[in-house]
Chains A and B, each alone.
Chain A
Amino acid sequence: MIEFSSVEYRHPNGVLALRNIDLKIRKGEVLAIVGENGAGKTTLIKHTNGLLKPSKGKVTAFDMDTNDESVANLSRKIGIIFQNPDHQIFSESVENEVKFALKNFGFKEEAISERLEWALNFFDLERYRTTSPMLLSGGEKKRLCIASVLAWDPDVVVMDEPTVGQDFIQKERLIKIIQMLVSKGKTVVIVSHDIEFIWPLQPRVIVMCGGKIIADNKAGKIFQERELLNKARIVKPQLQELSEKIHGESSGAFSNIYDAKQWVISKLKSD
Protein backbone atom coordinates (compact mmCIF):
# COMPACT_ATOMS: atom_id res chain seq x y z
CA MET A 1 0.00 0.00 0.00
CA ILE A 2 2.82 2.39 0.95
CA GLU A 3 6.27 1.40 -0.21
CA PHE A 4 9.68 2.96 0.38
CA SER A 5 12.37 1.75 -2.06
CA SER A 6 15.99 2.63 -1.22
CA VAL A 7 14.90 6.02 0.09
CA GLU A 8 17.40 8.63 1.20
CA TYR A 9 16.50 12.10 2.45
CA ARG A 10 18.88 14.99 2.94
CA HIS A 11 17.64 18.09 4.81
CA PRO A 12 18.24 21.51 3.15
CA ASN A 13 21.02 22.09 5.73
CA GLY A 14 22.84 19.05 4.33
CA VAL A 15 22.11 16.58 7.14
CA LEU A 16 21.30 13.09 5.88
CA ALA A 17 18.12 12.21 7.80
CA LEU A 18 17.11 8.94 6.11
CA ARG A 19 19.50 6.30 4.77
CA ASN A 20 18.56 3.47 2.47
CA ILE A 21 15.02 2.93 3.72
CA ASP A 22 13.17 -0.10 2.35
CA LEU A 23 9.76 -0.49 3.91
CA LYS A 24 6.32 -1.82 2.99
CA ILE A 25 3.30 -0.69 5.01
CA ARG A 26 0.50 -3.18 4.49
CA LYS A 27 -3.26 -2.70 4.59
CA GLY A 28 -4.94 -3.17 7.97
CA GLU A 29 -1.81 -3.36 10.07
CA VAL A 30 -0.71 -1.34 13.08
CA LEU A 31 2.85 -0.19 12.61
CA ALA A 32 4.78 1.46 15.41
CA ILE A 33 7.92 3.44 14.61
CA VAL A 34 10.22 3.79 17.59
CA GLY A 35 13.72 5.16 18.17
CA GLU A 36 15.63 7.89 19.95
CA ASN A 37 15.23 11.62 19.22
CA GLY A 38 16.62 12.56 15.81
CA ALA A 39 16.43 8.97 14.53
CA GLY A 40 14.37 10.11 11.52
CA LYS A 41 10.90 8.90 12.57
CA THR A 42 8.99 12.10 11.78
CA THR A 43 11.00 12.62 8.57
CA LEU A 44 9.98 9.12 7.51
CA ILE A 45 6.24 9.65 8.04
CA LYS A 46 6.32 13.02 6.26
CA HIS A 47 7.27 11.06 3.13
CA THR A 48 4.03 9.05 3.23
CA ASN A 49 1.81 11.93 2.05
CA GLY A 50 4.46 13.75 0.03
CA LEU A 51 5.19 16.57 2.51
CA LEU A 52 8.81 15.60 1.96
CA LYS A 53 10.09 14.14 -1.27
CA PRO A 54 12.95 11.63 -1.21
CA SER A 55 16.39 12.90 -2.26
CA LYS A 56 17.09 9.40 -3.63
CA GLY A 57 14.87 6.36 -4.16
CA LYS A 58 11.11 6.25 -4.46
CA VAL A 59 8.02 6.35 -2.26
CA THR A 60 4.75 5.02 -3.65
CA ALA A 61 1.43 5.29 -1.87
CA PHE A 62 -1.65 3.57 -3.31
CA ASP A 63 0.32 3.03 -6.55
CA MET A 64 1.01 6.78 -6.81
CA ASP A 65 4.58 8.08 -6.87
CA THR A 66 4.69 10.77 -4.15
CA ASN A 67 7.03 12.80 -6.38
CA ASP A 68 4.28 13.23 -8.95
CA GLU A 69 1.26 13.78 -6.68
CA SER A 70 0.14 16.80 -4.66
CA VAL A 71 0.10 16.59 -0.86
CA ALA A 72 -3.67 17.22 -0.96
CA ASN A 73 -4.26 14.23 -3.27
CA LEU A 74 -2.20 11.90 -1.11
CA SER A 75 -3.62 13.28 2.15
CA ARG A 76 -7.12 12.27 1.04
CA LYS A 77 -5.96 8.69 1.59
CA ILE A 78 -3.26 9.21 4.22
CA GLY A 79 -4.19 11.40 7.20
CA ILE A 80 -1.36 12.61 9.42
CA ILE A 81 -2.13 13.75 12.97
CA PHE A 82 0.70 16.01 14.09
CA GLN A 83 2.21 16.15 17.55
CA ASN A 84 1.29 19.72 18.52
CA PRO A 85 -2.43 20.63 18.26
CA ASP A 86 -1.55 24.34 18.50
CA HIS A 87 0.15 23.97 15.10
CA GLN A 88 -3.10 23.31 13.30
CA ILE A 89 -6.00 24.84 15.24
CA PHE A 90 -7.11 28.16 13.78
CA SER A 91 -10.89 28.23 13.32
CA GLU A 92 -13.29 30.28 15.44
CA SER A 93 -15.27 27.19 16.48
CA VAL A 94 -14.72 23.46 17.00
CA GLU A 95 -17.32 22.79 14.32
CA ASN A 96 -15.43 24.82 11.69
CA GLU A 97 -12.14 23.24 12.65
CA VAL A 98 -13.53 19.80 11.80
CA LYS A 99 -15.17 21.13 8.62
CA PHE A 100 -11.90 22.73 7.37
CA ALA A 101 -10.37 19.62 5.80
CA LEU A 102 -13.74 18.34 4.56
CA LYS A 103 -14.23 21.57 2.60
CA ASN A 104 -10.65 21.44 1.28
CA PHE A 105 -11.25 17.92 -0.01
CA GLY A 106 -14.45 19.01 -1.75
CA PHE A 107 -17.01 17.02 0.29
CA LYS A 108 -20.65 17.91 -0.43
CA GLU A 109 -22.61 19.87 2.22
CA GLU A 110 -24.66 16.82 3.17
CA ALA A 111 -21.59 14.65 3.61
CA ILE A 112 -19.88 17.42 5.60
CA SER A 113 -22.80 17.58 8.07
CA GLU A 114 -22.87 13.80 8.38
CA ARG A 115 -19.10 13.48 8.95
CA LEU A 116 -19.13 16.44 11.38
CA GLU A 117 -21.88 14.86 13.52
CA TRP A 118 -20.01 11.55 13.61
CA ALA A 119 -16.69 13.17 14.58
CA LEU A 120 -18.15 15.42 17.29
CA ASN A 121 -20.15 12.59 18.86
CA PHE A 122 -17.43 9.97 18.61
CA PHE A 123 -14.80 12.20 20.21
CA ASP A 124 -17.16 13.62 22.81
CA LEU A 125 -16.85 17.16 21.46
CA GLU A 126 -20.53 17.83 20.75
CA ARG A 127 -20.91 20.17 23.75
CA TYR A 128 -18.02 22.31 22.43
CA ARG A 129 -19.48 22.62 18.92
CA THR A 130 -19.56 26.46 18.96
CA THR A 131 -16.69 26.98 21.43
CA SER A 132 -13.39 28.43 20.27
CA PRO A 133 -10.90 25.55 19.97
CA MET A 134 -8.26 27.80 21.59
CA LEU A 135 -10.22 27.53 24.86
CA LEU A 136 -10.12 23.72 25.01
CA SER A 137 -7.78 21.83 27.34
CA GLY A 138 -4.67 20.08 25.97
CA GLY A 139 -6.41 16.68 25.86
CA GLU A 140 -9.51 18.11 24.18
CA LYS A 141 -7.41 19.92 21.57
CA LYS A 142 -5.65 16.64 20.79
CA ARG A 143 -9.00 14.89 20.45
CA LEU A 144 -10.18 17.67 18.13
CA CYS A 145 -7.09 17.21 15.94
CA ILE A 146 -7.73 13.47 15.70
CA ALA A 147 -11.42 14.13 14.98
CA SER A 148 -10.60 16.64 12.25
CA VAL A 149 -8.43 14.03 10.48
CA LEU A 150 -10.66 10.98 10.99
CA ALA A 151 -13.62 13.03 9.77
CA TRP A 152 -12.54 12.58 6.14
CA ASP A 153 -12.10 8.83 6.70
CA PRO A 154 -8.55 8.31 5.35
CA ASP A 155 -7.41 4.75 4.62
CA VAL A 156 -4.16 5.23 6.52
CA VAL A 157 -3.96 7.15 9.80
CA VAL A 158 -0.50 8.32 10.83
CA MET A 159 -0.07 9.59 14.40
CA ASP A 160 3.03 11.53 15.42
CA GLU A 161 3.59 11.19 19.19
CA PRO A 162 -0.14 10.87 19.96
CA THR A 163 0.31 10.50 23.73
CA VAL A 164 2.28 13.70 24.43
CA GLY A 165 0.46 15.61 27.18
CA GLN A 166 -2.25 12.94 27.54
CA ASP A 167 -3.32 11.44 30.86
CA PHE A 168 -3.93 7.70 31.43
CA ILE A 169 -7.64 7.85 30.60
CA GLN A 170 -6.96 9.67 27.32
CA LYS A 171 -4.31 7.11 26.40
CA GLU A 172 -6.75 4.25 27.09
CA ARG A 173 -9.28 6.03 24.92
CA LEU A 174 -6.71 6.44 22.15
CA ILE A 175 -5.91 2.73 22.25
CA LYS A 176 -9.63 1.98 21.82
CA ILE A 177 -9.82 4.39 18.87
CA ILE A 178 -6.86 2.68 17.20
CA GLN A 179 -8.40 -0.76 17.78
CA MET A 180 -11.67 0.51 16.28
CA LEU A 181 -9.81 1.85 13.22
CA VAL A 182 -8.04 -1.48 12.71
CA SER A 183 -11.34 -3.34 13.03
CA LYS A 184 -12.65 -1.14 10.19
CA GLY A 185 -9.72 -2.24 8.02
CA LYS A 186 -7.71 0.96 8.38
CA THR A 187 -3.93 1.04 8.58
CA VAL A 188 -2.50 2.86 11.58
CA VAL A 189 1.07 4.13 11.80
CA ILE A 190 2.21 5.39 15.21
CA VAL A 191 5.40 7.30 15.90
CA SER A 192 5.99 7.24 19.64
CA HIS A 193 8.48 7.12 22.48
CA ASP A 194 5.72 5.78 24.71
CA ILE A 195 6.43 2.06 24.70
CA GLU A 196 3.79 1.40 27.38
CA PHE A 197 1.19 2.88 25.02
CA ILE A 198 2.34 0.84 22.04
CA TRP A 199 2.60 -2.50 23.87
CA PRO A 200 -1.13 -3.32 24.33
CA LEU A 201 -1.65 -2.82 20.59
CA GLN A 202 0.91 -5.58 19.84
CA PRO A 203 1.88 -3.89 16.57
CA ARG A 204 4.55 -4.56 14.01
CA VAL A 205 7.46 -2.45 15.25
CA ILE A 206 10.24 -0.84 13.27
CA VAL A 207 13.19 0.50 15.22
CA MET A 208 15.09 3.48 13.79
CA CYS A 209 18.55 4.68 14.66
CA GLY A 210 20.64 7.32 12.84
CA GLY A 211 18.20 7.53 9.91
CA LYS A 212 18.20 3.75 9.31
CA ILE A 213 15.73 0.98 10.07
CA ILE A 214 17.69 -1.38 12.30
CA ALA A 215 14.89 -3.83 13.12
CA ASP A 216 11.45 -4.75 11.82
CA ASN A 217 9.43 -7.40 13.65
CA LYS A 218 6.45 -8.13 15.92
CA ALA A 219 6.41 -6.16 19.19
CA GLY A 220 6.82 -9.34 21.23
CA LYS A 221 10.05 -10.22 19.43
CA ILE A 222 11.52 -6.70 19.25
CA PHE A 223 11.10 -5.98 22.96
CA GLN A 224 12.90 -9.20 23.89
CA GLU A 225 16.13 -8.11 22.18
CA ARG A 226 18.02 -6.34 24.94
CA GLU A 227 21.01 -5.31 22.76
CA LEU A 228 18.77 -3.82 20.09
CA LEU A 229 16.79 -1.87 22.68
CA ASN A 230 20.00 -0.51 24.21
CA LYS A 231 21.25 0.55 20.77
CA ALA A 232 18.02 2.42 20.04
CA ARG A 233 17.84 3.72 23.63
CA ILE A 234 14.46 2.14 24.27
CA VAL A 235 13.30 0.76 27.58
CA LYS A 236 11.48 -2.56 27.65
CA PRO A 237 7.69 -2.32 28.36
CA GLN A 238 7.02 -2.81 32.07
CA LEU A 239 4.48 -5.57 31.35
CA GLN A 240 7.11 -7.54 29.42
CA GLU A 241 9.62 -6.94 32.23
CA LEU A 242 7.09 -8.12 34.84
CA SER A 243 6.21 -11.20 32.81
CA GLU A 244 9.87 -12.13 32.38
CA LYS A 245 10.45 -11.77 36.11
CA ILE A 246 7.50 -14.11 36.83
CA HIS A 247 7.63 -16.63 33.99
CA GLY A 248 11.17 -16.35 32.61
CA GLU A 249 12.51 -14.69 29.43
CA SER A 250 11.11 -17.12 26.86
CA SER A 251 7.48 -16.86 27.93
CA GLY A 252 4.84 -14.58 26.42
CA ALA A 253 4.21 -11.25 28.14
CA PHE A 254 1.00 -9.79 29.55
CA SER A 255 -0.73 -7.96 26.75
CA ASN A 256 -2.24 -5.31 29.02
CA ILE A 257 -2.37 -4.13 32.63
CA TYR A 258 -5.72 -5.86 33.25
CA ASP A 259 -4.32 -9.30 32.30
CA ALA A 260 -1.43 -8.73 34.68
CA LYS A 261 -3.81 -7.68 37.45
CA GLN A 262 -5.95 -10.79 36.86
CA TRP A 263 -2.88 -13.02 37.03
CA VAL A 264 -1.73 -11.46 40.33
CA ILE A 265 -5.22 -11.81 41.90
CA SER A 266 -5.58 -15.46 40.86
CA LYS A 267 -2.06 -16.20 42.11
CA LEU A 268 -2.81 -14.59 45.48
CA LYS A 269 -6.06 -16.57 45.77
CA SER A 270 -4.40 -19.89 44.92
CA ASP A 271 -1.59 -19.26 47.43
Chain B
Amino acid sequence: MQWIAQGFIFRRITSPFHQLDPRVKLLVSIELFTLSLLVGSLPEVIIALSGIFAIASISKILRRISRTLTYTLFFAIIIFSINILVGYPLMDAFVIAVRFLAIVGSTSIFFLTTPPDELELVMKWFRLPRDIVFAFVTAVRFVPVLMMDALQIMDAQKSRGLELQKGNIFSRFRRFIPILIPLIVDAVLRSGDLAEAMEARAYGAVKKPTSLYQLEIGVWGKVATILSITLIVPLAYLFLFLM
Protein backbone atom coordinates (compact mmCIF):
# COMPACT_ATOMS: atom_id res chain seq x y z
CA MET B 1 0.00 0.00 0.00
CA GLN B 2 2.75 2.42 0.99
CA TRP B 3 4.65 1.40 -2.15
CA ILE B 4 1.64 2.39 -4.27
CA ALA B 5 1.10 5.64 -2.31
CA GLN B 6 4.59 6.78 -3.29
CA GLY B 7 3.44 6.76 -6.92
CA PHE B 8 1.02 9.62 -6.26
CA ILE B 9 3.28 11.92 -4.30
CA PHE B 10 5.07 14.74 -6.12
CA ARG B 11 8.75 14.98 -5.28
CA ARG B 12 11.16 17.68 -6.41
CA ILE B 13 13.75 16.10 -8.72
CA THR B 14 16.28 17.84 -10.95
CA SER B 15 15.70 16.69 -14.52
CA PRO B 16 15.58 18.47 -17.90
CA PHE B 17 11.81 17.85 -18.08
CA HIS B 18 11.14 19.13 -14.55
CA GLN B 19 12.91 22.40 -15.38
CA LEU B 20 10.64 23.15 -18.37
CA ASP B 21 7.87 25.72 -18.14
CA PRO B 22 4.70 24.00 -16.78
CA ARG B 23 2.76 25.03 -19.92
CA VAL B 24 5.24 23.03 -22.05
CA LYS B 25 4.88 20.03 -19.72
CA LEU B 26 1.10 20.35 -20.00
CA LEU B 27 1.34 20.49 -23.80
CA VAL B 28 3.52 17.34 -23.93
CA SER B 29 1.11 15.59 -21.57
CA ILE B 30 -1.92 16.59 -23.69
CA GLU B 31 -0.13 15.40 -26.85
CA LEU B 32 0.62 12.01 -25.29
CA PHE B 33 -2.96 11.84 -23.96
CA THR B 34 -4.37 12.53 -27.45
CA LEU B 35 -2.06 9.95 -28.97
CA SER B 36 -3.21 7.40 -26.36
CA LEU B 37 -6.84 8.11 -27.26
CA LEU B 38 -6.15 7.55 -30.95
CA VAL B 39 -4.47 4.14 -30.67
CA GLY B 40 -6.42 1.23 -32.10
CA SER B 41 -3.91 -1.54 -32.71
CA LEU B 42 -1.03 -3.21 -30.89
CA PRO B 43 1.82 -1.36 -32.73
CA GLU B 44 0.10 1.99 -32.03
CA VAL B 45 -0.24 1.14 -28.31
CA ILE B 46 3.45 0.20 -28.20
CA ILE B 47 4.42 3.53 -29.86
CA ALA B 48 2.27 5.56 -27.43
CA LEU B 49 3.59 3.70 -24.37
CA SER B 50 7.18 4.06 -25.62
CA GLY B 51 6.67 7.83 -25.83
CA ILE B 52 5.31 7.93 -22.27
CA PHE B 53 8.13 5.79 -20.87
CA ALA B 54 10.76 7.81 -22.80
CA ILE B 55 9.51 11.07 -21.22
CA ALA B 56 9.27 9.34 -17.80
CA SER B 57 12.85 8.16 -18.21
CA ILE B 58 14.10 11.68 -19.10
CA SER B 59 12.14 13.00 -16.08
CA LYS B 60 13.69 10.34 -13.79
CA ILE B 61 10.20 9.21 -12.69
CA LEU B 62 10.24 5.80 -14.38
CA ARG B 63 9.98 3.89 -11.09
CA ARG B 64 7.26 6.18 -9.72
CA ILE B 65 5.13 6.07 -12.87
CA SER B 66 5.45 2.27 -12.77
CA ARG B 67 3.89 2.37 -9.30
CA THR B 68 1.00 4.50 -10.56
CA LEU B 69 0.47 2.09 -13.45
CA THR B 70 0.64 -0.92 -11.10
CA TYR B 71 -2.30 0.58 -9.21
CA THR B 72 -4.11 1.30 -12.50
CA LEU B 73 -3.51 -2.26 -13.67
CA PHE B 74 -6.37 -3.40 -11.44
CA PHE B 75 -8.82 -1.21 -13.40
CA ALA B 76 -7.22 -2.21 -16.72
CA ILE B 77 -7.89 -5.87 -15.86
CA ILE B 78 -11.56 -5.00 -15.12
CA ILE B 79 -11.83 -3.19 -18.49
CA PHE B 80 -10.24 -6.17 -20.25
CA SER B 81 -12.62 -8.64 -18.55
CA ILE B 82 -15.74 -6.58 -19.36
CA ASN B 83 -14.70 -6.27 -23.01
CA ILE B 84 -14.15 -10.02 -23.26
CA LEU B 85 -17.53 -10.63 -21.62
CA VAL B 86 -19.37 -8.39 -24.10
CA GLY B 87 -17.79 -10.23 -27.00
CA TYR B 88 -14.79 -8.18 -28.13
CA PRO B 89 -11.95 -10.17 -29.73
CA LEU B 90 -9.02 -10.89 -27.36
CA MET B 91 -6.60 -8.50 -29.08
CA ASP B 92 -9.10 -5.62 -29.18
CA ALA B 93 -9.91 -6.07 -25.48
CA PHE B 94 -6.19 -6.10 -24.74
CA VAL B 95 -5.58 -2.90 -26.75
CA ILE B 96 -8.47 -1.10 -25.01
CA ALA B 97 -7.14 -2.11 -21.57
CA VAL B 98 -3.57 -1.05 -22.39
CA ARG B 99 -4.90 2.19 -23.91
CA PHE B 100 -6.38 2.97 -20.49
CA LEU B 101 -2.93 2.48 -18.95
CA ALA B 102 -1.44 4.83 -21.58
CA ILE B 103 -4.08 7.50 -20.82
CA VAL B 104 -3.33 7.34 -17.07
CA GLY B 105 0.43 7.33 -17.78
CA SER B 106 0.22 10.43 -20.00
CA THR B 107 -1.66 12.47 -17.37
CA SER B 108 0.60 11.18 -14.58
CA ILE B 109 3.61 12.62 -16.42
CA PHE B 110 2.25 16.14 -15.90
CA PHE B 111 1.22 15.65 -12.26
CA LEU B 112 4.41 13.81 -11.24
CA THR B 113 6.66 16.51 -12.73
CA THR B 114 4.69 19.66 -11.87
CA PRO B 115 4.57 20.98 -8.29
CA PRO B 116 1.22 22.39 -7.09
CA ASP B 117 2.65 25.96 -7.19
CA GLU B 118 3.34 25.65 -10.93
CA LEU B 119 -0.05 24.04 -11.48
CA GLU B 120 -1.61 27.08 -9.86
CA LEU B 121 0.31 29.42 -12.18
CA VAL B 122 -0.82 27.47 -15.26
CA MET B 123 -4.46 27.59 -14.17
CA LYS B 124 -4.21 31.31 -13.51
CA TRP B 125 -2.62 31.74 -16.97
CA PHE B 126 -5.78 30.15 -18.40
CA ARG B 127 -7.67 32.91 -16.51
CA LEU B 128 -9.67 30.48 -14.41
CA PRO B 129 -11.44 32.01 -11.35
CA ARG B 130 -9.12 32.31 -8.36
CA ASP B 131 -11.33 30.37 -5.95
CA ILE B 132 -11.62 27.44 -8.35
CA VAL B 133 -7.84 27.45 -8.89
CA PHE B 134 -7.26 27.52 -5.14
CA ALA B 135 -9.74 24.69 -4.48
CA PHE B 136 -8.25 22.51 -7.22
CA VAL B 137 -4.62 23.11 -6.25
CA THR B 138 -5.40 22.53 -2.58
CA ALA B 139 -7.08 19.23 -3.46
CA VAL B 140 -3.99 18.16 -5.45
CA ARG B 141 -1.67 19.32 -2.67
CA PHE B 142 -3.56 17.29 -0.07
CA VAL B 143 -3.64 14.00 -2.00
CA PRO B 144 -0.30 12.81 -0.53
CA VAL B 145 -1.34 14.04 2.93
CA LEU B 146 -4.57 12.03 2.75
CA MET B 147 -2.62 9.01 1.49
CA MET B 148 -0.30 9.19 4.50
CA ASP B 149 -3.31 9.68 6.80
CA ALA B 150 -4.97 6.61 5.29
CA LEU B 151 -1.83 4.55 5.98
CA GLN B 152 -1.70 5.73 9.60
CA ILE B 153 -5.40 4.97 10.09
CA MET B 154 -4.88 1.50 8.63
CA ASP B 155 -2.00 0.93 11.06
CA ALA B 156 -4.14 2.07 14.00
CA GLN B 157 -7.08 -0.16 13.06
CA LYS B 158 -4.90 -3.17 12.21
CA SER B 159 -3.36 -2.78 15.67
CA ARG B 160 -6.88 -3.13 17.08
CA GLY B 161 -7.32 -6.48 15.37
CA LEU B 162 -8.92 -5.36 12.08
CA GLU B 163 -7.95 -7.81 9.34
CA LEU B 164 -8.42 -6.13 5.97
CA GLN B 165 -7.41 -9.14 3.87
CA LYS B 166 -9.86 -11.59 5.45
CA GLY B 167 -13.18 -12.78 4.00
CA ASN B 168 -14.95 -12.33 0.66
CA ILE B 169 -15.11 -9.12 -1.37
CA PHE B 170 -18.23 -7.80 0.43
CA SER B 171 -16.89 -8.37 3.95
CA ARG B 172 -13.57 -6.85 2.86
CA PHE B 173 -15.42 -3.77 1.65
CA ARG B 174 -17.26 -3.55 4.98
CA ARG B 175 -13.94 -3.78 6.81
CA PHE B 176 -12.86 -0.55 5.11
CA ILE B 177 -15.54 1.46 6.99
CA PRO B 178 -13.25 1.94 10.05
CA ILE B 179 -10.65 3.34 7.64
CA LEU B 180 -12.96 5.57 5.59
CA ILE B 181 -14.83 7.28 8.46
CA PRO B 182 -11.76 8.66 10.30
CA LEU B 183 -10.26 9.62 6.91
CA ILE B 184 -13.33 11.62 5.88
CA VAL B 185 -13.78 13.21 9.33
CA ASP B 186 -10.08 14.15 9.38
CA ALA B 187 -10.33 15.69 5.89
CA VAL B 188 -13.39 17.74 6.86
CA LEU B 189 -11.74 18.97 10.08
CA ARG B 190 -8.57 19.80 8.18
CA SER B 191 -10.48 21.78 5.53
CA GLY B 192 -12.11 23.85 8.30
CA ASP B 193 -8.71 24.54 9.88
CA LEU B 194 -7.27 25.46 6.48
CA ALA B 195 -10.13 27.86 5.73
CA GLU B 196 -9.56 29.64 9.05
CA ALA B 197 -5.81 29.80 8.50
CA MET B 198 -6.28 31.23 4.99
CA GLU B 199 -8.72 33.87 6.22
CA ALA B 200 -6.32 34.76 9.04
CA ARG B 201 -3.69 35.39 6.36
CA ALA B 202 -5.96 37.72 4.38
CA TYR B 203 -7.08 35.33 1.64
CA GLY B 204 -9.61 37.15 -0.53
CA ALA B 205 -8.82 40.59 0.93
CA VAL B 206 -7.89 42.04 -2.49
CA LYS B 207 -9.40 41.21 -5.88
CA LYS B 208 -6.12 40.88 -7.77
CA PRO B 209 -3.33 39.62 -5.52
CA THR B 210 0.25 39.84 -6.82
CA SER B 211 2.18 36.67 -7.66
CA LEU B 212 5.69 35.92 -6.45
CA TYR B 213 6.56 33.80 -9.51
CA GLN B 214 6.04 34.54 -13.21
CA LEU B 215 5.85 31.97 -16.00
CA GLU B 216 8.67 32.07 -18.57
CA ILE B 217 9.05 29.55 -21.39
CA GLY B 218 12.76 30.10 -22.16
CA VAL B 219 14.85 28.69 -25.03
CA TRP B 220 14.67 25.02 -23.99
CA GLY B 221 10.93 25.34 -23.51
CA LYS B 222 10.51 26.61 -27.07
CA VAL B 223 12.78 23.83 -28.41
CA ALA B 224 10.78 21.18 -26.49
CA THR B 225 7.48 22.64 -27.76
CA ILE B 226 8.58 22.58 -31.42
CA LEU B 227 10.15 19.12 -31.08
CA SER B 228 7.06 17.61 -29.43
CA ILE B 229 4.68 19.09 -32.05
CA THR B 230 6.85 17.91 -34.98
CA LEU B 231 6.90 14.40 -33.51
CA ILE B 232 3.32 14.03 -32.30
CA VAL B 233 1.35 15.64 -35.17
CA PRO B 234 2.69 13.24 -37.89
CA LEU B 235 2.19 10.30 -35.49
CA ALA B 236 -1.42 11.32 -34.79
CA TYR B 237 -2.01 11.64 -38.57
CA LEU B 238 -0.47 8.20 -39.04
CA PHE B 239 -2.69 6.65 -36.34
CA LEU B 240 -5.84 8.32 -37.69
CA PHE B 241 -5.53 7.76 -41.42
CA LEU B 242 -2.74 5.35 -42.35
CA MET B 243 -2.34 2.55 -39.76
Across the two chains, which residue of chain A brings its CB closest to B190? A86
Q: Report B175 CB to chain A, min CB distance, Å.
A: 10
A70 interfacial by beta-carbon distance below 8 Å = yes
Question: Chain B interface mostly helix, strand, loop or mixed?
Answer: helix
A104→B160 contact, CB < 8 A: yes
Cβ–Cβ contact B185 & A86, under 8 A? yes
Partner of A72, one of B3, B149, B153, B163: B163
How distant is the Cα of A148 from the Cα of B189 in the complex, in angstroms? Answer: 23
Q: Provide the residues of chain B in CB contact with A245, threshold 8 Å.
A: none
| A12 contact from B2, B182, B186, Cβ within 8 A | B2
Query: How far, in angstroms, from A49 to B158 measured CA to CA in the complex?
Result: 10
> In this assembly, does A54 line the interface, its C-beta being within 8 Å of a C-beta of chain B?
no
Q: Using Cβ atoms and an 8 Å threshold, which residues of chain B touch A148?
A: 160
Q: How far is the CB of B192 from chain A (nearest CB, A)?
A: 13
B169-203: which have CB < 8 Å to A?
Answer: 177-178, 181-182, 185-186, 189
A76 at interface, CB cutoff 8 A: yes
Contact present for B161 and A88 (CB under 8 Å): no
Distance A105 CA – B159 CA, assembled complex (angstroms): 11
Binding site for A on B (CB under 8 A): 2-3, 6, 149, 152-153, 155-163, 177-178, 181-182, 185-186, 189
In the complex, besides A84-B152, A134-B185, 16 extra interface pairs with C-beta distance below 8 angstroms are: A12-B3, A72-B158, A75-B160, A82-B152, A82-B155, A82-B159, A86-B185, A87-B156, A88-B153, A88-B156, A90-B177, A90-B178, A90-B185, A101-B160, A104-B160, A104-B162
The chain A residues found within 8 Å of chain B, CB to CB, are: 11-13, 46, 49, 51, 70-72, 75-76, 79-80, 82, 84, 86-90, 100-101, 104-105, 134, 148-149, 152
